[in-house]
A and B are shown apart, each in its own frame.
Chain A
């Protein structure tokens, strides 16, 4: 379980996040949704200890993310930011092998190689594993990054807008793969999403944020309502029944 207690972060006197107190259950996919600037990515990166908190406390599976050594956290949580740009030229397999660093410290064992191969296969990158990242399309590259955090073999996987810049086909494929990671590999996936319909269809819980506060937290059925979505997104939203569940229409 990820539990946040009175977590706050101030960027300036007028822009601040929190205080946020919320518990995210272990297992399944939790989607963070909300308008731009609501603090979704800030909360996610603070849970992943990439950003320091001004006050409050974050515990993941009982470990305080600020005080527990970073080495130990790296075996419990993995986190992926939106922008990944490397100065070095890496192949897919080399990138994924970095996911084993918390265990191998750079000296890969046969067991590590097995995890690496599994993560690559899981994301359908088997044929591309010797390609350099700069020879891949955006969707393939995004999959390679996700494969790296899966190879890290952590119970908690935090992803910041993994669907960014992906077309329809690749976005759906990515969400299906994350769904499988949650179901088959028993990972707890926390993900920042922009599209409420993706969140509703693929996630188990939705956490809606607005102006630095958590305003709604519940199952997709509880969140997918006209009044709730209209309030969260400051836009008139109508929820209509679709062939695969409710759809939010906002245009």
Chain B
């Protein structure tokens, strides 16, 4: 094992002429480039396959008729939702883990999920079943998003610019806040009638059908704009991944850059959470897969991989569960379960994060 690891670079060295081939890049050689291209191709194939499956499989109307197009159009909206959610979670998690220099914690730890749960539970608690309906609509969607962003922005700027100035304290406060909001929700849920609780539970699991088509015209441009900014910042993100001291040494104002990144992360996560509900494991899974498959520091290589992983996993499971097995609501539950297993598999096989 050790021997092959030592021999490989030496062999590569003899194949190339030393002077001309000495280039630096995010992918270390021909083999690395091939693996990256292969993984990307496979993920694109899975994505295309399940996209076609979701659009056309088992459409009850005759092909080409008005009804057929109507159903295909509704399914297209589900696909767009999947794409937005995958984009948000993948980019937010990768950028967050770079900013806090840790590949285990996710933005979910900052209490986004708990806040969403608390808002939903609070409305049902106060207004009964009508409370759930009151939270549906474009203004309400933006309101929920704004509240979550306010929480995140407040935490980040207060904790990172104050005298604490410490990411660990910020995370701890986020965890405690999440726990507090969670207990508050649990308390309110105890007081609900069984039927109210039933309606509420359906909203609390991340569910792609929570998203309504009228949110998409707003959600897609926002997600894309943030994604473009993160893409442009990718070289800076690469440096920030080296840690505070090295980033400062290389001329970045570390604290300011980290706050800027965390603000964008909070936009993405609140957007995805307001759209479909809390899905905290998806980002974790896509980021971990992107690191494993990409094995590079370059965020311009990690971001697309993460997005493709997220889209492939979500769309494939959505297709299989909803269209083949007719088990609609279970999609995200299964995604989180499968995600956990895949993650454990990679972790145990490689022995590191």
A residues with CB within 8 A of B: 45, 48-50, 70-75, 78-81, 84-91, 93-94, 96-99, 101-102, 105-108, 112-113, 116-117, 127-131, 135, 149, 152
Contact = CB atoms under 8 A, between A and B. Distances in A.
B249 A135 contact: no
Interface string B1-22: 0000110011011000000001
Given A86-B241, A116-B24, A129-B22, A94 B297 contact: yes
B17 to A, nearest CB: 13
B235 A81 contact: no
A212 B243 CA distance: 27
Nearest to A48: B249
B251 to A, nearest CB: 3
B242 interface: yes
Given A106-B236, A130-B29, 4 more contacts: A79-B245, A87-B101, A135-B5, A135-B6
Given A50-B248, A50-B249, A74-B249, A94 B243 contact: no
Interface of B: 5-6, 9-10, 12-13, 22-26, 28-29, 97-98, 101-103, 234-236, 238-239, 241-246, 248-253, 295-297, 353
Interface centre among A87, A94, A116, A128 (most CB of B within 10 A): A87
B246 A84 contact: yes
11 contacts: A49-B248, A50-B245, A73-B251, A75-B251, A79-B245, A80-B249, A89-B297, A98-B239, A99-B250, A130-B9, A149-B249
A238 B249 CA distance: 39
Contacts of B98: 87
Given A87-B103, A130-B12, A98 B242 contact: yes
Contacts of B296: 88-89
A56 to B, nearest CB: 19
Nearest to A121: B22
A79 B242 CA distance: 14
Nearest to A88: B297
Contacts of B246: 81, 84, 98
Contacts of A112: 24
Contacts of A50: 244-245, 248-249
A251 B26 CA distance: 50
Given A74-B251, A105-B235, A113-B23, A85 B243 contact: yes
B243 A70 contact: no
A87 B102 contact: yes
A80 B12 CA distance: 31
B297 A90 contact: yes
Nearest to A105: B235
Contacts of B28: 91, 94, 130
Contact of A70 (B236, B253, B295): B253
Contact of A74 (B9, B23, B235, B250): B250
